[in-house]
């Protein structure tokens, strides 16, 4: 009934050789010899099976995941994994997510890791639980396990007898460590994984059920708002809050150093009071910001730590053609539609926080540090918020709520940021610069590749010390922001996807990590991959042009990975890509490809667009995508993520840039930081999923970001003849480039 | 005291009449669907219908709403019996985080009550005030087209029945 592990099985099928099979087993034997078997996914960090799965006497199944729903549909996919391997109906599973007193600590829900780490853990834990249930039933029925099978919450014997799961388990049966290998089902027998299943959370969200942290209203709750300083680092020097304390509904003005907030009975009363407080507060301006017009020069002149992340062959080869280009990406927003929100209550020396943070455990540790409390006295519970797309203000607002709750013990405190604060104070995706240089031989093959990228850190997440929580830096006894650290390869931060996936015999890639952060920055969806894929995939088109080659064919000639070949070929075929296609004036088409982090999902896309000659405005047409996410658990979930990534990236790419003056951030709403609206949305997006049954899950949520940006730039170049290398590719820039 | 008609029910509301409708819907009436997005009338997360017209409830004080007919997503249907627009959005799985979707559905409901079979360009123009940051726009457009068809079919059935 149970297949061998997929890799071994496939090797058997494709080679038929016993010698190859034993060779495949060698690394495992070596691991056993060292007595350090690696457990699948996050089972390696949290090995006890009952940390992941509980089955009660009635057979009700609860699955515990340390990853959180961010709108990416992870709950549904995790339920599918569990249901498939435990052999129950998905409707029979209750899923508990991200809670510091109930679920495994899986760090952050980030980096497209949820299926790889959590999905893999749950898939394997569920298979092992099914194995245990069958063993227990074999003992109970006095039959060999081979005569038993699990189905619909019951173990059924060949002789017709059956036992329900709930009757088999007693107390500690699942309190045992997971094994390195699991009796996983053969993917061809899957009935839930890879089959259509609607998202479990959508009906409630679409009918007004309380679905978000914003919707919580515990008894006795107070509404609070924070008065943020006028700029980074400003200090509150003078405040007479007496007039505010007597305003209708106001319960308390909370001040700690330069952290200023007000709690009231009603939400609009809290907003009224916040505005009144803001008018009364006197601030000493913080350090001035750099000039926006010369920000890239400023960044290049800051000290950097340089790391050579690829050094291959003898870089510096001269060829028939050498191409050089420099690319820029501005600071950009997460821009969640719902401003960040949290609830907190402080009672009996314990703090409980309801948060849409991506990492409840790290947040707990940072809050404990900020409040000088033992970590065990802080309980963080994930409740969904508006989509975050990385490290937005979720953790900051949780810190705000915690500080206000401590000042007003016994009352639940709800804080939601105002739009102006979300736009002005969230940590932005960092500005970046890259320089590329490459040489082609006479046959149009790449022989040399050099690439340098300059960036701040892409993570200032509060992972323990409080200093990365916004409010912590403004308290009477402030916490210093910890020194930023780069995220190392192979995942990378600013240098994520900076190493080309293409085959080049001589190559050097250098990551320039800049510690000083003129603006507050952190993780924005895809991190540096957005800029690096934009750069590399724009550059590949420039090189194809120099080689006189079709951009798709030029990519294929430098790709050795057969799965990369497959997505590129499928996207081109489904789009109807023809070399030398003749398009009407002002129309262009573009292609781009990347494997996210060079180790997660593969994504290739082709698109067409039109540039309005008089205005430079871009109208996006048809977009066709091919994606390989490994074993596809929920095809529509993958399509939804890819479609979303493309539309979001198109908006970043065409319109978006944080603006600032010397005194502070000036893009404080959707007027000063415009994003894509419906009339400018693409004509269509068609996503083709290549399902690799039995293969590892490959993270997909961020895979579309970079390719979409580059395909747009390539199509604009195709339409106009003008190559734009500085994001965003605004109508004004296009108009200037085409000289009208 | 302000009397508001929300989803066909009269509510006596005792808050400052300057209070924008959104806060009254969410806090006094405990209706979750309309969301705070910007408080500036720029994103549409708070969209509700007032006398069949989509409005930004985050900037509309309740003082001007007495005697008006206010509708929210809760008035379109329930989880057990979703209305045609809700069903269309569920069928198309037109949500990622879903925070903006109630506002999208009210905007679509308002459009379809005025124009039973809008063109694609008319749908895009009508939906323009509402923002989705997850990038669900393609599915939202499909859902509005699906809802239009379903509502036309329902109207056809009702006419047939009337005959």
Domain-terminating residue out of B75, B90, B114 = B75
Residues B70 and B88 in one domain: no
Q: What is the ipTM of this complex?
A: 0.97
Peptide bond into A728 cis (omega under 30): yes
Interface size, chain A vs chain B, as Cβ–Cβ contacts under 8 Å: 187
Per-residue tokens: A722: 């003008």
CA distance B132 to A229: 29
Q: What is the dihedral of CA A721, A726, A727, A728, to 10 degrees?
A: -60
Residue found under tokens 């599915």 = B139
Q: Which of A198, A199, A206 to mutate to test the interface with B (most CBs of B within 10 A)?
A: A206
Q: Is the pLDDT of residue A206 over 80?
A: yes
CA distance B156 to chain A (A): 26
B119 touches chain A (CB under 8 A): no
Residues B4 and B55 in one domain: yes
| Beta carbons of B82 and A669 less than 8 Å apart | no
What residues of chain B lie within 8 A of the CB of A68, using their CB? none
Q: Is the pLDDT of residue A220 over 60?
A: yes
Closest B-chain CA to A684: B138
Name the CA radius of gyration of chain A, rounded: 27
Minimal Cβ distance to A203: which of B43, B79, B138: B79
Per-residue pLDDT at A17: 33
Residues B2 and B71 in one domain: yes
Minimal Cβ distance to B82: which of A207, A339, A675: A207
Of A510, A697, A462, A461, the closest CA to residue A601 belongs to A697
Confidence of residue A26 (pLDDT cuts 50, 70, 90): very low
Average model confidence (pLDDT) across chain A: 95
- Listed by number, the residues of chain A in 66-95 with a beta carbon closer than 8 Å to a beta carbon of chain B are 70-73
Q: Is the pLDDT of residue A686 over 60?
A: yes
Are the beta carbons of A603 and A703 closer than 8 angstroms? Answer: yes
**What residue ranges in A332-487 does DSSP mark as E strands?**
341-347, 350-355, 378-382, 413-416, 432-440, 446-455
- Listed by number, the residues of chain B in 54-93 with a beta carbon closer than 8 Å to a beta carbon of chain A are 72-74, 77-79, 82, 86, 89-90, 93
Per-residue pLDDT at A3: 39
Region for A694 from its dihedrals, namely left if φ exceeds 0, alpha if ψ lies in -120 to 50, beta otherwise: left
- Listed by number, the residues of chain A in 12-41 with a beta carbon closer than 8 Å to a beta carbon of chain B are none
Of A63, A30, A32, the closest CA to residue A46 belongs to A63
Q: Are strands A235-238 and A93-97 parallel, antiparallel or unpaired?
A: unpaired
Per-residue pLDDT at A172: 87
Confidence of residue A9 (pLDDT cuts 50, 70, 90): very low
Q: Which domains does chain A have, with CATH numbers?
A: 1-37 (no CATH), 39-196 (3.30.365.10), 213-285+338-422 (3.30.365.10), 432-458+493-737 (3.30.365.10)
| Beta carbons of B96 and A681 less than 8 Å apart | no
Confidence of residue A370 (pLDDT cuts 50, 70, 90): very high
Residues B70 and B129 in one domain: no
Per-residue tokens: A34: 């060292």
Are the beta carbons of B44 and B59 closer than 8 angstroms? Answer: no
Per-residue pLDDT at A13: 35
Are the beta carbons of B33 and B27 closer than 8 angstroms? Answer: no
Residues B161 and B109 in one domain: yes
Q: Is the pLDDT of residue A6 over 50?
A: no
Closest A-chain CA to B135: A644
Are the beta carbons of A614 and A679 closer than 8 angstroms? Answer: no
Are the beta carbons of A412 and A221 closer than 8 angstroms? Answer: yes
Residues B161 and B82 in one domain: yes
| Beta carbons of B36 and A416 less than 8 Å apart | yes
Write out the residue range of the structural domain in which residue B61 sits: 1-75
Domain-terminating residue out of B28, B43, B75 = B75
Cross-strand pairs, A253: A262
CA distance A524 to chain B (A): 13
Residues in chain B: 163
Closest B-chain CA to A418: B38
Residues B131 and B70 in one domain: no
| Beta carbons of A419 and B98 less than 8 Å apart | no
Residues B35 and B89 in one domain: no
Residue found under tokens 């391997």 = A85
CA distance A472 to A479: 5
- The number of angstroms, rounded, from the C-alpha of A636 to the middle of its chain's C-alpha atoms is 18
CA distance A311 to B72: 60
Per-residue pLDDT at A739: 85
- Listed by number, the residues of chain A in 647-666 with a beta carbon closer than 8 Å to a beta carbon of chain B are 647-648, 651
- Report pLDDT digits (tens) over A378-392: 999 999 999 999 999
Residues B87 and B144 in one domain: yes
**A440-461 mean pLDDT:** 98
| Furthest-apart CA atoms within chain B: distance in Å | 50
**A441-458 mean pLDDT:** 98
CA distance B96 to chain A (A): 5
- Say which CATH number the domain at B60 has: 3.10.20.30
What residues of chain B lie within 8 A of the CB of A679, using their CB? 121, 124-125, 128
- Report pLDDT digits (tens) over B24-72: 999 999 999 999 999 999 999 999 999 999 999 999 999 999 999 999 9
Minimal Cβ distance to A210: which of B32, B38, B123: B32
- Say which CATH number the domain at B103 has: 1.10.150.120
Residue found under tokens 């269509």 = A684
Closest B-chain CA to A248: B16
Of A203, A204, A197, the closest CA to residue A91 belongs to A197
Counting the structural domains of chain B, the total is 2
What residues of chain A lie within 8 A of the CB of B44, using their CB? none
Closest A-chain CA to B22: A268
The helix (H) or strand (E) run that includes residue A684 is strand A684-690
Per-residue pLDDT at B154: 86
CA distance A199 to A636: 9
Minimal Cβ distance to B96: which of A71, A248, A271: A71
Residues B66 and B85 in one domain: no
| Beta carbons of A387 and B31 less than 8 Å apart | no
- Report pLDDT digits (tens) over A120-143: 999 999 999 999 999 999 999 999
- Report pLDDT digits (tens) over A476-495: 999 999 999 999 999 999 99
| Beta carbons of A207 and B98 less than 8 Å apart | no
Residues B69 and B85 in one domain: no
Model confidence, pTM? 0.95
Per-residue pLDDT at A34: 59
Per-residue pLDDT at A18: 35
Per-residue pLDDT at A452: 98
Residues B86 and B159 in one domain: yes
């Amino acid at each position: 009934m149970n297949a061998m592990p997929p890799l071994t099985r496939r090797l058997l099928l494709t080679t038929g050789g016993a010698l190859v099979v034993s060779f495949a087993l060698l690394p495992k034997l070596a691991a056993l010899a060292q007595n350090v078997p690696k457990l699948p996914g996050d089972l390696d960090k949290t090995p006890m099976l009952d940390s992941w799965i509980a089955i009660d006497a009635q057979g009700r199944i609860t699955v515990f995941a340390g990853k959180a729903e961010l709108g990416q549909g992870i709950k549904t996919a995790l339920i599918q994994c569990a249901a498939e391997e435990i052999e129950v109906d998905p409707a029979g599973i209750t899923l508990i997510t991200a809670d510091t007193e109930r679920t495994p600590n899986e760090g952050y829900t980030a980096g497209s890791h949820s299926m790889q780490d959590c999905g893999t853990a749950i898939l394997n834990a569920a298979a092992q639980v099914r194995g245990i249930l069958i063993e227990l039933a074999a003992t109970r029925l006095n039959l060999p396990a081979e005569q038993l099978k699990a189905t619909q919450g019951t173990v059924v014997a060949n002789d017709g007898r059956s036992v329900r799961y709930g009757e088999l388990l007693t107390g500690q049966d699942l309190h045992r460590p997971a094994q390195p290998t699991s009796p996983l089902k053969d993917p061809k027998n899957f009935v839930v994984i890879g089959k259509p299943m609607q998202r479990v959370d959508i009906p409630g969200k679409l009918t007004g059920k309380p679905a978000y942290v914003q919707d919580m209203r515990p008894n006795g709750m107070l509404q609070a708002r924070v008065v943020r300083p006028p700029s980074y680092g400003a200090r509150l020097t003078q405040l007479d809050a007496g007039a505010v304390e007597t305003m209708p509904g106001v319960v308390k003005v909370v001040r700690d150093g330069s952290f200023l907030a007000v709690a009231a009975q009603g939400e609009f009363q809290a907003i009224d009071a916040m505005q009144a407080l803001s008018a009364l507060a006197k601030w000493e301006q913080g350090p001035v910001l750099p000039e926006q017009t010369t920000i890239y020069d400023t960044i290049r002149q800051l000290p950097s730590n340089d790391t050579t992340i690829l050094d291959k062959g003898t870089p510096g080869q001269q060829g028939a053609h050498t191409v050089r280009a420099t690319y820029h990406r501005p600071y950009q927003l997460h821009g969640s539609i719902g401003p960040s929100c949290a609830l907190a209550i402080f009672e009996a020396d314990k703090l409980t926080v309801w948060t849409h943070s991506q990492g409840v455990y790290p947040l707990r540790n940072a809050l404990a540090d900020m409040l000088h409390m033992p970590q065990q006295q802080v309980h963080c519970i994930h409740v969904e918020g508006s989509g975050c797309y990385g490290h937005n203000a979720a953790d900051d607002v949780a810190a705000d709520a915690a500080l206000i709750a401590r000042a007003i013990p016994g009352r639940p405190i709800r804080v939601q940021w105002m739009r102006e604060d979300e736009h002005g104070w969230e940590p932005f995706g960092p500005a970046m610069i890259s320089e590329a240089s490459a040489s082609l031989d006479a046959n149009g093959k790449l022989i040399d590749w050099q690439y340098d990228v300059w960036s701040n850190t892409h993570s200032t997440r509060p992972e323990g010390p409080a200093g990365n929580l916004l409010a912590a830096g403004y308290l009477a006894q402030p916490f210093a922001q910890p020194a930023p650290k780069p995220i190392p390869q192979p995942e990378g931060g600013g240098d994520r996807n900076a190493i080309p996936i293409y085959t080049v015999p001589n190559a050097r890639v250098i990551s320039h990590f800049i510690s000083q952060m003129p603006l507050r920055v952190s993780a924005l969806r895809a991190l540096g991959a957005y800029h690096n894929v934009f750069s590399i995939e724009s550059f590949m088109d420039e090189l194809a042009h120099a080689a006189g080659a079709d951009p798709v064919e030029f990519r294929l000639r430098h790709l050795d990975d057969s799965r990369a070949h497959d997505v590129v070929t499928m996207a081109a075929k489904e789009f109807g890509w023809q070399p030398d296609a003749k398009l009407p004036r002002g129309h262009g088409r573009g292609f781009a490809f990347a494997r996210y982090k060079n180790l997660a999902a593969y994504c290739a896309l082709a698109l067409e667009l039109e540039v309005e000659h008089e205005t430079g405005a871009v109208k996006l047409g048809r977009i066709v995508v091919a994606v390989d996410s490994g074993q596809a658990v929920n095809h529509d979930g993958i399509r939804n993520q890819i479609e979303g990534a493309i539309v979001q990236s198109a908006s970043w790419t065409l319109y978006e840039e944080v603006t600032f003056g010397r005194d502070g951030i000036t893009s404080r709403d959707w007027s000063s930081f415009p994003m894509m609206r419906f009339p400018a949305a693409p004509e269509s997006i068609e996503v083709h999923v290549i399902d690799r049954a039995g293969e590892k899950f490959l993270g997909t949520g961020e895979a579309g970001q970079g390719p979409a940006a580059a395909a747009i730039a390539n199509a604009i170049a195709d339409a106009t003849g003008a190559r734009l290398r500085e994001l965003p590719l605004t109508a004004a820039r296009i108009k200037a480039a085409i000289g009208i | 005291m302000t009397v508001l008609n929300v989803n066909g029910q009269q509510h006596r509301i005792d808050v400052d009449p300057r209070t924008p409708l959104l806060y009254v819907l969410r806090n006094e009436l405990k209706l979750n669907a309309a969301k705070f997005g910007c408080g500036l009338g720029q994103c549409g997360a708070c969209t509700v219908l007032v006398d069949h017209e989509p409005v930004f409830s985050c900037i509309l004080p309740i003082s001007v709403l007495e005697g008006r007919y206010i509708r929210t997503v809760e008035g379109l249907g329930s989880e057990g019996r979703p209305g045609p627009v809700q069903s269309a959005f569920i069928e198309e799985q037109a949500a990622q985080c879903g925070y903006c979707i109630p506002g999208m559905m009210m905007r679509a409901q308002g459009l379809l009550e005025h124009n039973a079979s809008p063109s694609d360009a008319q749908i895009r123009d009508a939906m323009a005030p509402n923002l989705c940051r997850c990038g669900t726009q393609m599915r939202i457009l499909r859902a509005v087209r699906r809802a239009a068809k379903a509502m036309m079919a329902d109207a056809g059935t009702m006419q047939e029945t009337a005959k």
